[in-house]
C-alpha cells in the first residue's frame, strides 16, 4: 500500500475499452441530466401551479437539497471506493440517477420532485468515482488531459441532452424524464458487463467513519501539502458558476423570451465549447503552458464572460461570449489534476469525494443565492433586473482569481 508518497497509477492498467466506458458513462449521465434542464421550469410550474419567477425560486431550493445530499454522501462514496473498489460504487451511482429520473417523471407534487433530488444527490457520485478511476490508471503528468476528457464528456452531454430535452419538451415536460431514466438503465446494464475494477488490492485501505463525512474529509486535507488552498479557490469559483444551473433557463425565458427548444440549443452550444476546450485543448494546453497558467486564463475569462452575459442584448452576443469564455473550462480539471499530485494512491477516492463535497457546498449555496436573487430582482422589473445576478457572480469570480494569484505568489516565496 502506498500511503506516504505521491499517487502512482495502477501498474496493471485496464484496457482502453474500460477507460472509454467510464467516459461514456459520464457522458450518458450528463445527457440524462441535460435532458431535463429545458423542461424543469415548466414541470415546476405545472406541478406547483406557479409563475416563472416563483418556479425559479423552487428550482433553486431543489438544487439546494440535491447539493446537500451530495455534500453529505460524496465523501462517503469516495471512501467506500477506496475500500471496496470503483466498480460497485460507480454502478450504484448510475442506478440512483435512473431511479431519480423515473420518480420525477411520475411525481404528483413538488414534494416528490424534492425526494427525487435527494436520491440523485445521494447516488450522484459517478463523477467522483470516474475521477478516482482515471487517477488509478494514469500517470500524474497525464491527468490534466484525462480530466479534460471527462470535462469534454460533460460538455458533450450538454450538447446532446438539452438539445433533445428541448425537442422532447414539446410532447410534455415529463417526457424527457422518462427518456433520461431509460438512458440510465441502459448505461447500468452496459457497465454491469464491461466495467472492470481498477483499484489494486494493495492500494486499498480500511474504511473509517471519521474520514467519511465531509468535515472529516476537510480535516484530512490539511495533511496533504497545498490541497486546502486550492480547495478554497475551487470553492469560490464553483460558487460563482452555480449561476448557470440556477438561473440560465429562467434568465433566457425572462430576458429574451426563449422557448424550451431555444434553451436547449443554447445549452448545447455551451456544451460544444466546453467539449472543445476541455477535451481537445486541456491536455496540450497543460503540457505547453502549465496547469497554473491555464487556471489563471480560465478565471480571467470567467470574470469577463459573466459580465458580458449581464450586458448581452440578444442571442448573437450570448453565442460570442460562450466561445470567448471557453478557457474557463480549464479551471476545474487543472485544479483537480494539481491536487491529485499531492495525495497518495490509497486516498484518491477520498480526495475526489472531498472535492465533490466542497463543490456541492459551493453549488448549493451559490444556487440558492443566485436563484433567490434572480427571483427577487426579476419580480421587481427594470432594465437590468434579470442581469444583476451575473454582475454579482463576476465579482465572486474576481475574488477566486485574486485568491489563486496570492496562492501562486506564496508558493514562489517558499524555498
Position 125 scores a pLDDT of: 61
Q: Produce one character per residue of 330-347: b if its CB has 16 or more CB atoms within 10 Å, e if not.
A: bbbbbbbbbbbebbbbbb
Euclidean distance between the first and final Cα of the chain, in Å? 30
Kindly report the pTM of this predicted structure: 0.66
Q: DSSP assignment of 263-313, as one string? A: HHHHHHHHHHHHHIIIIIIHHHHHHHH-HHHHHHHHHHHHHHHHHHHHH--
Q: Which three cell numbers stand for residue 56?
A: 425559479
Do residues 327 and 294 touch, judged by C-beta distance below 8 A? Answer: yes
Q: What is the dihedral of CA 330, 336, 339, 343, to 10 degrees?
A: -150
Position 5 scores a pLDDT of: 42
Q: Which three cell numbers stand for residue 286?
A: 497543460
Q: Name all contacts of 179-182 with Cβ < 8 Å and 24+ positions apart.
A: 179/32, 179/35, 180/31, 180/32, 180/33, 180/35, 180/36, 180/97, 180/101, 181/32, 181/98, 181/99, 181/101, 181/102, 181/105
- Residue length of the chain: 415
Domain boundaries defined on the chain: 16-196+210-413
CA–CA gap between residue 330 and residue 145 (Å, rounded): 10
Q: Which three cell numbers stand for residue 9?
A: 497509477
Q: Produce one character per residue of 183-206: b if its CB has 16 or more CB atoms within 10 Å, e if not.
A: bbbebbeebeeebebbbbeebbbe
Secondary structure element (H or E) that encloses residue 16, with its range: helix 16-36
Do residues 105 and 89 touch, judged by C-beta distance below 8 A? Answer: no
- CATH superfamily placement of domain 16-196+210-413: MFS general substrate transporter like domains (1.20.1250.20)
Tens digits of residue pLDDT in 180-237: 888 888 888 888 887 777 777 777 777 776 666 666 666 666 777 778 888 889 999 9
Written as tens digits, the pLDDT of the chain (415 aa) is 343 444 444 434 445 666 777 787 777 777 766 677 777 777 888 887 777 667 777 877 887 787 777 777 777 777 777 788 888 888 888 888 888 888 888 888 888 888 888 887 777 666 677 777 777 777 777 777 777 777 777 767 767 777 777 778 778 788 888 888 888 888 888 888 877 777 777 777 777 766 666 666 666 667 777 788 888 899 999 999 889 878 888 888 888 888 877 887 787 787 788 778 876 787 788 888 888 899 999 999 999 999 999 898 888 898 899 888 888 888 888 888 888 887 776 666 677 777 777 887 788 788 888 888 888 887 776 667 788 899 999 999 999 999 999 988 887 766 5
CA–CA gap between residue 94 and residue 118 (Å, rounded): 15
CA–CA gap between residue 408 and residue 84 (Å, rounded): 37
Q: Which three cell numbers stand for residue 370?
A: 443566485
Closest CA to 356 of 190, 229, 234: 234
Q: Produce one character per residue of 234-251: b if its CB has 16 or more CB atoms within 10 Å, e if not.
A: bbbbbbbbbbbbbbbbbb
Determine the 3-state secondary structure of 212 from DSSP. Answer: coil
Closest CA to 204 of 87, 359, 72: 87
Residue 403 CB partners (closer than 8 Å, separation 6+): 229, 232, 233, 236
Give the angle subtended at the CA of 208 by the CAs of 203 and 211, to the nearest 5°: 95
Amino acid at each position: 500500500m502506498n500511503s506516504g508518497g505521491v499517487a502512482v497509477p495502477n501498474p496493471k492498467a485496464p484496457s482502453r475499452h474500460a477507460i472509454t466506458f467510464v467516459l461514456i458513462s459520464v457522458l450518458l449521465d450528463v445527457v440524462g441530466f441535460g435532458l431535463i434542464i429545458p423542461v424543469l421550469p415548466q414541470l415546476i410550474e405545472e406541478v406547483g401551479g406557479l409563475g416563472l419567477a416563483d418556479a425559479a425560486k423552487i428550482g433553486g431550493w431543489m438544487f439546494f437539497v440535491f447539493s446537500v445530499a451530495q455534500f453529505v454522501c460524496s465523501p462517503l462514496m469516495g471512501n467506500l471506493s477506496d475500500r471496496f473498489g470503483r466498480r460497485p460504487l460507480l454502478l450504484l451511482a448510475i442506478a440512483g440517477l435512473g431511479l431519480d429520473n423515473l420518480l420525477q417523471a411520475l411525481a404528483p407534487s413538488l414534494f416528490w420532485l424534492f425526494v427525487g433530488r435527494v436520491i440523485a444527490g445521494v447516488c450522484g457520485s459517478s463523477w467522483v468515482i470516474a475521477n478516482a478511476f482515471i487517477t488509478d490508471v494514469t500517470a500524474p503528468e497525464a491527468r490534466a488531459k484525462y480530466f479534460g476528457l471527462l470535462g469534454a464528456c460533460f460538455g458533450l452531454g450538454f450538447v446532446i441532452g438539452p438539445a433533445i430535452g428541448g425537442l422532447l419538451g414539446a410532447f410534455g415536460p415529463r417526457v424527457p424524464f422518462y427518456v433520461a431514466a431509460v438512458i440510465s438503465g441502459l448505461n447500468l446494464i452496459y457497465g454491469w458487463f464491461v466495467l472492470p475494477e481498477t483499484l489494486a488490492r494493495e492500494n486499498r485501505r480500511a474504511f473509517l467513519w471519521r474520514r467519511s463525512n465531509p468535515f472529516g474529509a476537510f480535516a484530512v486535507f490539511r495533511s496533504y501539502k497545498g490541497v486546502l488552498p486550492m480547495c478554497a479557490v475551487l470553492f469560490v469559483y464553483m460558487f460563482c458558476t452555480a449561476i448557470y444551473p440556477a438561473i440560465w433557463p429562467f434568465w433566457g425565458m425572462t430576458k429574451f423570451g426563449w422557448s424550451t427548444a431555444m434553451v436547449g440549443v443554447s445549452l448545447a452550444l455551451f456544451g460544444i465549447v466546453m467539449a472543445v476546450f476541455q477535451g481537445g485543448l486541456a491536455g496540450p494546453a497543460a503540457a505547453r503552458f502549465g496547469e497554473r497558467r491555464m487556471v489563471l486564463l480560465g478565471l480571467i475569462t470567467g470574470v469577463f464572460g459573466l459580465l458580458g452575459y449581464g450586458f448581452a442584448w440578444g442571442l448573437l452576443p450570448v453565442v460570442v461570449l460562450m466561445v470567448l469564455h471557453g478557457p474557463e473550462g480549464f479551471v476545474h480539471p487543472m485544479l483537480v489534476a494539481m491536487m491529485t499530485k499531492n495525495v497518495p494512491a490509497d486516498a484518491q477516492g477520498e480526495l475526489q469525494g472531498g472535492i465533490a463535497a466542497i463543490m456541492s457546498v459551493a453549488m448549493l449555496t451559490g444556487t440558492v443565492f443566485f436563484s433567490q436573487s434572480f427571483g427577487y430582482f426579476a419580480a421587481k422589473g427594470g432594465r437590468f433586473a434579470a442581469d444583476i445576478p451575473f454582475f454579482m457572480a463576476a465579482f465572486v469570480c474576481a475574488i477566486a482569481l485574486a485568491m489563486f494569484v496570492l496562492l501562486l505568489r506564496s508558493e514562489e516565496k517558499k524555498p
